[in-house]
Each structure stands twice: as structure tokens, then as C-alpha cells.
Amino acid sequence: MAQLLVEKGYDVFGMVRGQANPKIRMIQEETPKLELVEGDLQDLSSLIAAVEQVQPDEVYNLGAISFVALSFRQPELTADITGLGVLRMLEAVRIVGGPSNQGEGNRIRFYQASSSEMFGKVRETPQTEMTPFHPRSPYGAAKVFGHYITMNYRESYDLFACSGICFNHESPRRGLEFVTRKVSNGVARIKLGLQEKVTLGNLDAARDWGFAGDFCEAMWLMLQQDGPEDYVIATGETHSIQELLELAFAAAGIDDWGHLVESDPRFTRPAEVDILTGDASKARSQLGWKPKVDFPELVRMMVESDLEIEAGDPSRRP
């Protein structure tokens, strides 16, 4: 997101928590023009101070406890950051942005990263902006709160506040705890003789996977509209873990791979989300948005990146 905004000529600020945040160096190396400010989604006063310092035109709230499995182990922390963190960010925007001189409401435009996990046990397929929510994890439930409180602030305080209901979006920068990166990195390590097997949870789960760079373009487009609305951002295609594995091993040049994958019940969720498929018709028609990177290209991109990392400088390995 930061790279996209820098390319568009923005002065971009990223909020970081803590004095010794291990991600600061990585962020600065990837986007040197990004300026960092201190703030914490658990501390409203720090958010007000950050917004006052930056005086932004646009705020993109992508911060969250975003790993679903962790949300089951730390549900209260997830609710506080992923849910209440949105409320605190909106309050900071409301307080600092104030009414505009033209009487058009708050001058700061706000984007909230909502999630397909809000649909959970899906009521219909594909899922649209009107599909009822049925979250199946503390993460999904916290995201539902964030989604509805964004809607409430939009309607109560005349904020330009919108949510992108984003389905799974991946890239080579994805954390190793997420299944796509776990697969791409595991396959790369198997190819290089550094690992014997990939161990996963539910191999039957299916998701609508897209490229994170494409999704960031959609986020930006939402804040360029005349009015704030919510949009589903998805590819409209569903792929299983099995398909993910087939493409990843093919990208590494490994044909006979069945014996290299195993399922472990330790990695299954207490309440599983079996399939998610998004209908982004509204985003296509109103934003003029559509994904550019297809699923096979995305998987190949991730495997090739991990092959380069694992074969290169050992200090760069995850």
C-alpha cells in the first residue's frame, strides 16, 4: 500500500508501535520514502497525536491481529486490536479532522480493511456486500465490529469512511504463518534440500485468492470516489489447498509430490470456514477495478521469490 501511494506522488506515513519494532528495518528498506510515526491501536491518545502530527488527507487502517489461528489463542487481544482498534482510529480521525470549512463533513477520508472471514459459515455463494455475516473465529467477529462501527461513524458523523471486504490477498511478503506462504516457502526449501515435508491443516479448504498489489489499487480507488461506500474485493474464483499445492510444486519443477505433504489436526481451526468466493461486481462497475494477476501467476511469483531467498544469503531466510 505504501509503495502504491508513493508511486502516486503521496507523502506517506506509516504508523509503528514500540521503540524496537522488528519490522521497522524491513519497512524502511522496502519503501525508503515512507516516514514512520509512533502510534498504538490500543491507545487512543497516541492515535490522536499521530493524526495531528501527520494531518492526513487519507487514512488506510490495515492494522490488525490478522492471523486467524492466533485469534483463537488470544481472543481478547484480537478483539481489542482488530475490533476496538478501528473504533479508536475512527475517533482520532473524527476529533482531528473536524468539520471542513465547506461544511462537507470531516476532511479526512478513511479506509477500513474488512475481511471475507466475516462471512464465515456462508449463507450464500458467491458473497456480495449484502450477504449476512456469520463469523467463525474471534478474528472474524472482531472484523464484523470494525465493519459496522465504520458504517456507524459514516452515518453518525458524516465521515468519508468506507470498508473494503477483502478476500484473501497474497504476495511474496506474506507471513510464513499463512498457508500460501507456508506452502511456497516449504516447497522452495524441499526443492533445495532444506526441508523434507510441508505440514498443513485442512487440505480441503478453498479460498478466493488474489494478489495483494491488485487489492491495494482497489483500496485507493475507494477513497477517490464522490461518496463513501463498501465494496467486496475478490477475484470471483475459488481454489483449494490441493490446487495451491499442485501449482507450487509445479513452479518448483517437482512432479511426484504427494508423499511430501501431510495433514496435522493441530493446524485445524475449532470452527472451520470451508469455502469463500467473492462477487466483486460492484467494484468492477463503480470503481472500474479488476484483478490483473491470476492465481497460477501468483503462486509462481511466491515460489520463485522463496527459491531466491532460500538459495541466497542465509541471513535473509525467514
Q: Does residue 16 sit in helix, strand or coil? A: strand
The larger pLDDT score, comparing residue 244 to residue 21, is at 244
- Summarize pLDDT for 31-72 with one digit per residue, the tens: 999 999 999 999 999 999 999 999 999 999 999 998 899 999
Residue with cell 504476495: 171
* DSSP of 57-122: SEEEE--S---HHHHHHSHHHHIIIIIIHHHHHHHHHHHHH-B-TTSSSBS-EEEEEEEGGGT-S-
Residue 131 has pLDDT above 60, yes or no: yes
pLDDT attached to residue 101: 46
> For position 316, what pLDDT does the model report?
54
Compute φ and ψ for 33, nearest 5 degrees: -80, -5
Average pLDDT over every residue of 66-84: 95
Distances from the Cα of 170 to the Cα of 133, 214, 261, 273, 293, angstroms: 23, 10, 21, 18, 11
Q: What would the mean pLDDT of 172-194 be, rounded to a whole number?
A: 95
> Which class in CATH covers the domain with range 2-174+209-238+274-294?
alpha beta
- Which of these, 286, 148, 272, 127, lies nearest to 203 by C-alpha position? 272
Beta strands at 35-38 and 13-16: parallel, antiparallel or unpaired: parallel
Q: For position 263, what pLDDT does the model report?
A: 87
Q: Is the pLDDT of residue 291 over 90?
A: yes
pLDDT range class, residue 97, cuts 50, 70, 90:
very high
Task: Give catalytic residue positions.
Answer: 115, 117, 139
Residue type, 177: E
Q: What is the mean pLDDT of the chain?
A: 93
Which residue(s) pair with 36 in the sheet?
A: 14
Q: Which helix or strand (DSSP H or E) is residue 210 part of? A: strand 210-211
**pLDDT on residue 124:** 96
Q: For the residues of 255-268, what is the DSSP string, one character each?
A: ---GGGEEE-GGGS
Beta carbons of 83 and 146 less than 8 angstroms apart: yes
Pairing state between β 206-207 and 239-240? antiparallel
Helix, strand, coil % over all residues of the chain, rounded to 5: 45, 15, 40
C-alpha cell belonging to residue 29: 528498506
Q: How far is CA 288 from CA 8, 17, 222, 234, 283, in A?
A: 18, 35, 10, 13, 7
